[in-house]
């Protein structure tokens, strides 16, 4: 009789236990990845009523295809890929735009490397309690992020909230790292332009 799954087990051990017939092991995998899946689904799917069904579909697909997972990437990255592709399928069915590439966004990823990112969206070490953003401004920023196209919202969430690398985001979205950097730059630029168009600079 196999040992019961524990939170200390590795992803590979849990996957083996799931394939051996342990539903509890899959529950551990869900808990480990639900933050990432939630971020992807909530950023890609705007309609709240559809999000639970999409998230459930993600884990049903993961369970169904678990035997084919070979740990060529992290388990969380694999789940992220499933979540992203499931959301893409949803958007296609709804005929919704993932991102408007015609949206004007001055500069490119090379310019971002020279000048650094706009400060309206901070990096992984961003702490709203100790930075210039107080809770009210953080709320304003969050609301502005939600107005970005689905792809931009998702990339911002994966980079700034999930603290994933460009490589990991590229694996999840099937986008080249350079494209991820460029889209993040466009998202920050668009976010900054919209905030400055709505609020006085001194307010931000």
CA atoms of 136 and 187, how far apart (whole Å): 21
pLDDT digits (tens, 9 = 90+) for 139-175: 777 788 888 889 999 999 999 989 999 999 999 999 9
| Token pair belonging to 19 | 């394939």
Cβ partners under 8 Å of residue 174, min gap 6: 81, 84
pLDDT digits (tens, 9 = 90+) for 100-135: 544 544 344 444 443 333 333 444 454 544 444 445
Cβ partners under 8 Å of residue 50, min gap 6: 90
pTM for the full predicted model: 0.76
| 18 phi, psi to nearest 5 deg | -60, -45
Cβ partners under 8 Å of residue 29, min gap 6: 11, 14, 15, 18, 62, 75, 79
Domains of the chain: 11-94 (1.10.1740.10), 109-203 (1.10.10.10)
């Amino acid at each position: 009789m196999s040992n019961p799954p524990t939170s200390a087990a590795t992803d590979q051990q849990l996957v083996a236990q799931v394939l051996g017939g342990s539903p509890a092991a899959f529950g551990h995998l869900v808990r480990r990845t639900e933050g990432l899946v939630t971020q992807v689904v909530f950023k890609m799917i705007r309609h709240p009523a559809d999000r639970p069904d999409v998230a459930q579909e993600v884990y049903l697909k993961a369970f169904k295809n678990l035997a084919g997972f070979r740990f060529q990437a992290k388990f969380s990255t694999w789940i992220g890929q499933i979540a992203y592709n499931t959301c893409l399928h949803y958007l296609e069915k709804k005929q919704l735009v993932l991102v408007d590439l015609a949206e004007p966004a001055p500069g490119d990823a090379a310019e971002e490397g020279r000048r650094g990112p706009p400060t309206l969206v901070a990096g992984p070490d961003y702490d709203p309690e100790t930075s210039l953003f107080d809770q009210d401004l953080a709320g304003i920023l969050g609301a502005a992020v939600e107005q970005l196209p689905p792809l931009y919202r998702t990339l911002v969430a994966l980079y700034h909230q999930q603290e994933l690398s460009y490589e990991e985001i590229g694996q999840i979205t099937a986008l080249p790292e350079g494209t991820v950097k460029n889209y993040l730059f466009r998202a920050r630029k668009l976010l900054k332009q919209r905030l400055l168009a709505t609020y006085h600079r001194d307010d931000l």
